[in-house]
Amino acid sequence: MNIHIGINSGEVLAGEAELNRLELQIMKVINGEGSVVNLIGEAGIGKSRLCAEVFSESFMDRVTLLEGRVPFHRTYL
């Protein structure tokens, strides 16, 4: 599942809806369904904050979490 996080008028949109979608996927894992979740969004949009909020929940001790990050790099034309 991909969770896209966007910007609307300069506001960070990693909010309640994205949090709920992420928590729903984690509950599916707890109930026996495998899952991979990709958080996708521009730098500074709130992906890390969203993860930190979910990772602090008590139900996270029942799942195995593998976290990866893509290092920032520039492409010059």
- Lowest model confidence (mean pLDDT) among 7-11, 43-47, 55-59, 67-71: 7-11
3-state helix, strand, coil in the chain (%, to 5): 40, 15, 50
DSSP state of 16: H
Provide the residue ranges of all domains of the chain, joining segments of one domain with +: 2-62
- Lowest model confidence (mean pLDDT) among 20-29, 43-52, 55-64: 43-52
Please compute the mean of the pLDDT values over residues 1-11 and round it to a whole number: 55
Q: State which amino acid sits at residue 5.
A: I
Per-residue pLDDT reduced to its tens digit, 17-37: 888 888 888 888 889 988 788
Question: Which three-class secondary structure state does DSSP give residue 40?
Answer: strand
